[in-house]
Structure 1
Amino acid sequence: MEKQLVIVDCDAGIDDALALILLAGAHKLNKIQLLAVTCVNGNTTVENVVNNVFRILQTCGLADIPVYQGAHSPLLSTENARISATEQFHGPDGFGNMFKDKLDISKLQKEHAVHALYRMVCKNPGEVSIACIGPLTNIALAIRLYPDFISKVKAFYVMGGNYTAQGNITAQAEFNFYSDPESVHIFLANSIKPYVLLPWETCIKRAMDPKWQDHVFGKINTPEVQLMSTLYQFYLNSNKESAIYTPCDAILAAIVLRPDMATKLIEHHADIELTGRRTRGQVVIDHLASNKPNTNIVTECNLEIFKELLILALDPENYEGDVL
């Protein structure tokens, strides 16, 4: 069976880090080929995102994976952009300002992420899956620049949005989609086959058990776990009222590796509200089914598979199962 080719498009905050670590582990085990990581403005500036991606890849021993810098802002300069930029859930630099050492990013590719995305899918038509775990600005720009871009992608896996109008940055909107709703509209309006969409509500139904984190995940002694433990400490200090961590992006990465981890998917046609005074950034579902479905919305997932994938990626020598 040929290895799945994967590109990650991310805004490298704390949950992006765990997602990349998970996919990096599968790459090192020769289960997938991680072609590249493309960076987009979101949790922090795109320059900080680049630094964080290099830190993750260097920690994973994969410093040679190509990294591309992409969009430095949303498509439009709107109130959304201002609000998203000030909501520093992951600290000013996306990693809680937990690291002071200077990183070597000399291997940053000169090609813009949007052009690199198109080039890579053209080189491997119908073979590349793209995991989108940040705002969709790079993807929307690729669609606008290259009309055949989507037709050359095998599958899109997207963490973002909502399906019952529950938000996290506003009462009705999820951060990734709220940060650049115009890009989401372009993405959804140009679907050829339904995208896999992991919304906010599904993620918060499957938060990580702190006891499992401490007694299983936290007991693994690898650089990757040490990195995540440092980042998780920032999360705990910033969220003293709750020790529950919801690794949304990492759950999506697990679904890329094991699609059957998504135990319930519902086909819907979805768009995003662009003009609502209170609902801008909210995903709008066509419950009348008057339009062809463009999303497979994940409403249930198996967290036990997710935990096994994490253990395999982080401690393959001691793993005794067959999750991949």
Structure 2
Amino acid sequence: MAQKLVIIDTDAGIDDAQAIMMSLAAPGLQILGITCCFGNTDVDNVCQNVLRVLSVCERTQIPVFRGAAVPLVGATKAFSHHFGTDGLGDVLKDRDPQWKEKLQREHAVNAMIRLVADNPKQVSLVALGPLTNLALVIRLDPAFPQNLKELIIMGGNMEGKGNVSLCGEFNFVLDPESAYIVLEEYLCPTHIASWEYCCRNKLSWEFFEELINEDTPAGRFMKKITSKCWGYSKEAMLNKRDVYFGPGFVSYDAYAVAACIDSSVVTESIVCAVRVELQGALCRGMMALDPSNRLKKNHCVSVMKTCDLTKFSQLLVASLRQPCSK
């Protein structure tokens, strides 16, 4: 059976690292390249984080491309320290001094256009951070989306519940214009793992403790980068996430990769038109769902609603049991 061709666009926080490891452990995926964007930290840290994950998993042959350092419009917003200032929990002291030489010289946007042109209708693009690279792609190559097999996004929200603003989700709020462009102009099959979907399909903290105690290099790596991160602290997150969803462990970006690996992980979706709000002090960056099609749009997306947690858990465990280097 042929492998599914995938490009991962990432801002490489801890959950991105877990999602990338999940993709590397999936025998049905072939990762054509990983493109980097600002988000959880600055784009240079993102590049280093991706290279580090690939090194741990002995997959350094996968090309890594540096992409957008700032949003499409306006100034860069302050980076969240949800995953530490470096995106990986501020615990990795042995940074590679030669990391720049290990990046591809080609810009991420050009690489995405080339890889998809070389494999028309065969590539699944999984977007785990702000959608700046994707917006830049379509400005350079308007035909790009029609050559994609599918687009899978972790981002946005479907109920106006925000995690960085009153009504907005992190990835979309960091670059609302790019999120707007992508959801208006990418007319390929599009699937969205929203913030609420991830949080509503959370796992127990007991499962998380078992997961990071996998006695493998990948397991030890995940245990290390989550060890001092308040975003992976049961005590720190109890009060914060209880407001909307109750306690539990959420590996946000892994939900999008899981849907790419096995579509049956998603057991229920809402198919409708959506639009990203660009105005307003409270709602800028919010994704509005339009099930009655008042917007009169011809393109609908699939917004994930419920998840097979048994299958999802198995993919998480497999991500840390793969053969890796130290």
- The Cα of 1:209 is off from its aligned counterpart by 1.2
- Partner in structure 1 of residue 90 of structure 2: 97
- The Cα of 1:235 is off from its aligned counterpart by 2.4
1:51 has 2:48 as partner: yes
Q: Distance in 1 between matches of 2:95 and 2:264?
A: 40
Q: Distance in 1 between matches of 2:164 and 2:203?
A: 21
1:269 has 2:264 as partner: no
**Structure 1 portions without partners, runs of 5+:** 318-324
Aligned to 2:29, which of 28, 32, 36?
A: 32
Secondary structure at the counterpart of residue 214 of structure 1: helix
Letter of the aligned partner of 1:63 in structure 2? T
1:287 has 2:322 as partner: no
- Partner in structure 1 of residue 250 of structure 2: 246
Q: Distance in 2 between matches of 1:247 and 1:310?
A: 9
After TM superposition, the structure 1 stretch with the greater mean CA deviation from structure 2, 93-102 or 206-215, is 206-215
Task: Quickly say closer, same or farther: Cα 1:307–1:189, change in 2 above 3 A.
Answer: same
Aligned residues: 309
Aligned to 1:302, which of 282, 305, 308?
A: 308
Q: Distance in 1 between matches of 2:215 and 2:138?
A: 42
In the TM superposition, what whole-angstrom CA distance separates every residue of 1:102-148 from its partner, at most 9, and x where no partner exists?
Answer: 21422200000000000000000010101100000000000011011
- The Cα of 1:291 is off from its aligned counterpart by 2.3
- Partner in structure 2 of residue 186 of structure 1: 181
Q: Distance in 2 between matches of 1:144 and 1:205?
A: 35
Task: Quickly say closer, same or farther: Cα 1:39–1:73, change in 2 above 3 A.
Answer: same
- Partner in structure 1 of residue 130 of structure 2: 135
- Partner in structure 1 of residue 10 of structure 2: 10
Q: Distance in 2 between matches of 1:314 and 1:90?
A: 19
Matched-pair contact (CA < 8 Å) for 1:160–1:174: yes
For 1:155-174, list aligned pairs within 5 A.
Answer: 155-174=150-169
Matched-pair contact (CA < 8 Å) for 1:266–1:297: yes
Secondary structure at the counterpart of residue 5 of structure 2: strand
Q: Distance in 1 between matches of 2:322 and 2:114?
A: 33
Matched-pair contact (CA < 8 Å) for 1:193–1:294: no
* Identical-residue share of aligned pairs (%): 36
**Structure 2 portions without partners, runs of 5+:** 239-247
Matched-pair contact (CA < 8 Å) for 1:191–1:294: no
1:115 has 2:119 as partner: no
Letter of the aligned partner of 2:108 in structure 1? A
- Partner in structure 1 of residue 59 of structure 2: 62
In the TM superposition, what whole-angstrom CA distance separates every residue of 1:148-170 from its partner, at most 9, and x where no partner exists?
Answer: 11111111000000111111001
Q: Normalising by the residue count of structure 1, what TM-score does the alignment of the two structures yield?
A: 0.91
Q: Normalising by the residue count of structure 2, what TM-score does the alignment of the two structures yield?
A: 0.91
1:229 has 2:231 as partner: no
Letter of the aligned partner of 2:65 in structure 1? Y
Q: Distance in 2 between matches of 1:165 and 1:88?
A: 23
Secondary structure at the counterpart of residue 231 of structure 1: helix
Matched-pair contact (CA < 8 Å) for 1:159–1:198: yes
Letter of the aligned partner of 1:251 in structure 2? Y
Secondary structure at the counterpart of residue 234 of structure 1: coil
- The Cα of 1:193 is off from its aligned counterpart by 3.5
After TM superposition, the structure 1 stretch with the greater mean CA deviation from structure 2, 87-96 or 123-132, is 87-96
Matched-pair contact (CA < 8 Å) for 2:218–2:322: no
- Partner in structure 2 of residue 220 of structure 1: 214
Matched-pair contact (CA < 8 Å) for 2:121–2:149: yes
In the TM superposition, what whole-angstrom CA distance separates every residue of 1:42-94 from its partner, at most 9, and x where no partner exists?
Answer: 1110000000001100001111110000000000115xx32xx2432111111
Q: Distance in 2 between matches of 1:230 and 1:86?
A: 22
Letter of the aligned partner of 2:228 in structure 1? F
- The Cα of 1:237 is off from its aligned counterpart by 7.7
After TM superposition, the structure 1 stretch with the greater mean CA deviation from structure 2, 185-194 or 256-265, is 185-194
- Partner in structure 2 of residue 320 of structure 1: none
